[in-house]
């Protein structure tokens, strides 16, 4: 189970009506069937968020059914492997299109109606690697650092409209995310611990209810990011040691 499916399950369990969007119609149907037991309304829309016309159609269909969107979650993402010197520029553009440009496109499609309806919450699923860069995932690191910058600016711009922006920083999560990564296969990886997608999703529901700003799923993630910001040279030495020989 990936984070997207887990989010659908967690919000349905909390009683939220859902609009589910993904590329695969079959997968959407499976997820909708799974959460039907929660007795919530569910609309599925097959879209490619890198296509502007698809995102416009998603917004039109969602708003025609629900009238308004209270919580918008940008979860679409793709990984990317490879050392900086080996990055495939075309693949890097694809990574940035999915992880950075697509969330902006979705926000532009939905924010005006959210503001007109009195506000809401925008959830940006980022990553610990948007806070701490590690070797051999530079393209992905860059996309998530940039997404964080967009989120921070949007939070200030949308505050007067009653919209809160929640940035979520999961660490390594049990899913097939890495299997679908762009770039060089077999890039070195260091995984000290992993979390379930369900853990991430339940934490996101709690954050939306509380109106939080930044969300780390575990204390280890929060400590890592704090230490890297406070003691960057020490963090570099630790990462160099962790990747030595990989």
d(Cα 80, Cα 6) in Å, to the nearest integer? 22
Q: What is the pLDDT of the chain when averaged over all its residues? A: 91
Annotated catalytic residue, options 140, 169, 193, 243: 140
Q: How many CB atoms lie within 10 A of CB 196?
A: 15
User: With bands split at pLDDT 50, 70 and 90, how would you rate the model's confidence at 153?
Assistant: very high
Size of the chain, expressed as the number of residues it contains: 246
Averaged pLDDT, 218-233: 93
pLDDT value for 189: 67
Residue 166 in tokens: 């929640």
pLDDT value for 145: 97
pLDDT value for 185: 65
Let me know if 140 is a catalytic residue: yes
Q: Which residues pair with 43 in a beta bridge?
A: 19
d(Cα 177, Cα 6) in Å, to the nearest integer? 14
Helix pair 3-13, 25-35: axis angle to 10 deg: 30
Q: Which single residue is written with the structure tokens 């990936």? A: 2
d(Cα 215, Cα 238) in Å, to the nearest integer? 24
pLDDT value for 53: 96
Residue 46 makes CB contacts below 8 A (sequence gap 6+) with 21, 22, 23, 24, 25, 28
d(Cα 22, Cα 241) in Å, to the nearest integer? 39
Q: pLDDT (tens digit, 9 = 90+) per residue, 174-187?
A: 766 666 677 666 56
Query: What's the pTM value of the predicted model, to 2 decimals?
Result: 0.91
- On whether the CB atoms of residues 102 and 124 are closer than 8 A, the answer is no
Phi first, then psi, for residue 69 (nearest 5°) are -120, 125
Res 198 pLDDT > 90? yes
Chain centroid to CA 230: how far?
25
User: With bands split at pLDDT 50, 70 and 90, how would you rate the model's confidence at 87?
Assistant: very high
Complete domains list, the chain, with CATH: 3-218 (3.40.50.720)
Q: pLDDT (tens digit, 9 = 90+) per residue, 112-147?
A: 999 999 999 999 999 999 999 999 999 999 999 999
What is the enclosing helix (H) or strand (E) of 182? strand 182-183
Provide, rounded to the nearest whole percent, the portion of the chain with pLDDT above 90. Answer: 76
If you ran DSSP here, which 8-state letter would residue 79 be given?
A: -
Averaged pLDDT, 209-226: 94
């Amino acid at each position: 189970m990936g984070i997207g499916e887990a989010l659908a399950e967690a919000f349905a369990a909390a009683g939220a009506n859902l609009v589910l969007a993904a590329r695969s119609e079959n997968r959407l149907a499976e997820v909708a069937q799974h959460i039907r037991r929660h007795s919530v309304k569910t609309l599925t829309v097959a879209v490619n968020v890198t296509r502007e016309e698809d995102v416009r159609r998603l917004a039109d269909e969602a708003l025609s059914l629900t009238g308004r969107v209270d919580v918008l979650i940008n979860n679409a993402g793709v990984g990317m492997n490879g050392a900086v010197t080996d990055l495939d520029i075309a693949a890097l553009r694809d990574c940035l299109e999915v992880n950075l440009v697509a969330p902006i496109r979705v926000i532009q499609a939905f924010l005006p109606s959210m503001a007109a309806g009195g506000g809401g919450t925008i959830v940006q699923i980022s990553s610990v690697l948007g806070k701490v860069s590690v070797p051999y995932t530079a393209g992905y690191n860059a996309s998530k650092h940039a997404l964080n910058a967009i989120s921070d600016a949007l939070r200030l711009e949308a505050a007067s409209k009653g919209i809160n922006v929640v940035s979520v920083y999961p660490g390594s999560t049990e899913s097939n995310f890495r299997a679908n990564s762009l770039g060089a296969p077999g890039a070195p990886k260091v995984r000290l611990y992993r979390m379930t997608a369900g853990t991430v999703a339940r934490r996101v529901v709690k954050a939306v209810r509380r109106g939080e700003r930044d969300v780390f799923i575990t204390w280890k993630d929060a400590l890592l990011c704090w230490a890297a910001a406070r003691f960057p040279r020490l963090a570099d030495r630790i990462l160099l040691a962790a990747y030595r020989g990989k």
